[in-house]
Amino acid sequence: MKLAVWGSSSRILRFLNAKVDEGILSDFSKGIDNAIKKFQLVLNIENAVALDMQGKILNAIKSQLDSIERKVDSHVMDTLLEKLIREDARTAAADYQRKVEYCHDKTCERMLSKIRGWANNVQANEGQVFWLSGLAGTGKSTIAKTIARWADEQGILASTYFFSRDDAKLSESSLLIPKIAFDITEFDPLAKEIVAGVLKKDRRVVYTSETIEKQFQSLLAQPLAELSSRTSASPRKLMLLIVDSLDECSDRLAVKEVVSLLLDFVSGSYPHIRVLFTSRPESYIREAFGSDGKQRFIQHNVEDFADPHDIENYLYDGLSKSYQQVEWRERNDFKSLVEYSGKLFIYASTALRYICTQSRFADPVKRIADLLGRGPVAASGEGRYKRLDKLYLDILDQAIGAETRADSPEMFQLRRILGTIMQLNDPLPISALVELLEVDESVTTLRS
């Protein structure tokens, strides 16, 4: 009976406590739900962090791979572009340019100012090609090198090329276009990519039997056209190309072709490109520019801008450096030397080297007297070069010595060398003369 009563009361209590248990269970359920949500939130956060870390790692790896790819591409491009210039030609060009002097301080200012103004003024309605002509020894290469230094300082020097008949490598026409193309890739990084793309397709355009026109179109015309199209939205970068001593190129037909190609290419379509040529006024070069191209180029003769004071200052500074104790400007022999030099810097520079040779027995006053002692010669026309001839004769006299016998080994070698040079239709570089005559290249008299 008691068990029945207790069981009944227990059911009543459970019934009465059910609401309480429901609340507890509900709270418990909510706690579980919150714990699950927190767990999911933490898990999501951890996943997000992990994914972010993975993304960063993947981005870092991709960045490294991109960097490696760029370096590989750059190395490939550099390797391709190196083929544009043979190492021996590069060395020869550097050696030759070191030998060419800059304009002496405060000399040739009128000519230099004229060229600078032309190079900078892209808005002017004038030719984009400047032909600086002049006879031998008037300072064309010196002016070209001085302009190159100025243009480099201004950030507009795209390329320089100095022809020289004294070095077989620098007299070749086939080196000109590849050298200009290489310089332009150094001048504009975007051009590097374009020219390298050309070489990837066909490396034969560099130094094989390709024509000048094929070289020009593949390595210059097409890349420069593409470069201009890619940068058409922004102002084009001013570019100055300098080609010195056209007359010292061994291939006259190639010279005519290069001049014609560059004239046709830059005129009108590429106002930001300027080309400076220097040369003697040889007939085949005049023909290359042509009478119908007058509006497409500017021509000036160096001698038209010559200032007598330039030669005087050059000689005075040169003599004063070697012989400071002499007041040269007051001496009549100095004034005569200035007059003898006329407009020929080559006469003045050769005279200085002769007069200022440092030896125990060198007497500058006597050497000037020796130069002047052969008598006056006309100051114009061929007379200027007759003076230069006499200057070289004086130097030869000093080099050989008045006492040297006609049948001596020294005189035999001199006649052999000079006789060979006189018989040549076209000048040979020293290296070729050395092989032809089988003499030691270190012989200073040959180089002089």
Tens of pLDDT, residues 130-185? 999 998 888 899 999 999 999 999 999 999 999 988 777 788 888 889 889 889 98
Q: Are 338 and 273 within one domain?
A: no
pLDDT of residue 151: 96
Count how many domains the chain has: 3
Q: In this structure, is residue 15 part of a structural domain?
A: no
Q: What is the token pair recorded at 77? A: 């491009």
pLDDT at 305 over 50: yes
Q: Which domain holds residue 258?
A: 83-305
pLDDT of residue 284: 92
Could you tell me if residue 18 is inside a domain? no
Shared domain check, 393 and 358: yes
* Of 430, 447, 108, nearest in space to 278 by CA: 108
In a domain, 271, yes or no: yes
Segment 326-331 shows an average pLDDT of 79
Among the candidates 305, 339, 358, a domain finishes at: 305
CA dihedral defined by 208, 212, 218, 222, rounded to 10 degrees?
Answer: 170
Checking 29-33 for CB contacts under 8 A at 24+ apart, the result is none
Asked if residue 177 and residue 209 are part of one domain, the reply reads yes
For 361-402, the pLDDT digits (tens) are: 567 788 888 777 755 444 555 556 666 676 677 667 666 665
Regarding whether 129 and 234 lie in a shared domain, the answer is: yes
In DSSP notation, 84-119 reads TS-HHHHHHHHHHHHHSPPPPTT-SHHHHHHHHHHH
The whole-number pLDDT of residue 378 equals 46
Query: Are the C-beta atoms of 344 and 390 separated by less than 8 Å?
Result: no
Distant-in-sequence, close-in-space partners of 391: CB < 8 Å, separation ≥ 6? 347, 350, 351, 354, 371
pLDDT confidence of residue 228 = 83
Same domain membership, residue 437 and residue 391: no
Residue in 87, 84, 97, 210 with CA at minimum distance from that of residue 161: 97
pLDDT tens digits, 272-296? 899 999 999 999 999 998 855 456 7
- Of the three residues 287, 305, 323, the one that is the final residue of a domain is 305
- The answer to the question of residue 78 being in a domain is no
Residues 190 and 218 grouped into a single domain = yes
> Could you report the per-residue pLDDT of 42-95, keeping only the tens digit for each?
777 877 777 777 777 767 666 666 555 555 555 555 565 666 666 666 666 666
408 and 300 inside one domain: no
Identify the helix (H) or strand (E) that includes residue 161: strand 157-162
> Do 131 and 209 sit in the same domain of this protein?
yes
Last residue within a domain, chosen from 290, 305, 320 = 305
pLDDT at 447: 47
What percentage of the chain carries pLDDT values higher than 90? 20
Same structural domain, 285 and 332: no
Q: How sure is the predictor about 19, in pLDDT bands with cuts at 50, 70 and 90?
A: low
Say which amino acid occupies 411: M
Strand-strand pairing, 129-133 and 273-279: parallel
DSSP 8-state code for residue 248: G
Query: Are residues 109 and 126 located together in one domain of the fold?
Result: yes
Asked, for residue 209, whether it belongs to a domain, the answer is yes
Residue 43 in domain: no
Chain segment 211-252, per-residue pLDDT in tens: 888 889 988 999 998 888 887 656 678 999 999 999 999 899
Residue 5 has pLDDT above 50, yes or no: no
In a domain, 383, yes or no: yes
pLDDT at 321: 82
At residue 212, the pLDDT reads 86
* CATH number of residue 261's parent domain: 3.40.50.300
The predicted structure's pLDDT at residue 234: 64
DSSP sequence for 325-364: TS-GGG-HHHHHHHHHHTT-HHHHHHHHHHHT---TT--H
Beta carbons within 10 angstroms of residue 182's beta carbon: 22
Question: Across the chain, what does the average pLDDT equal?
Answer: 77
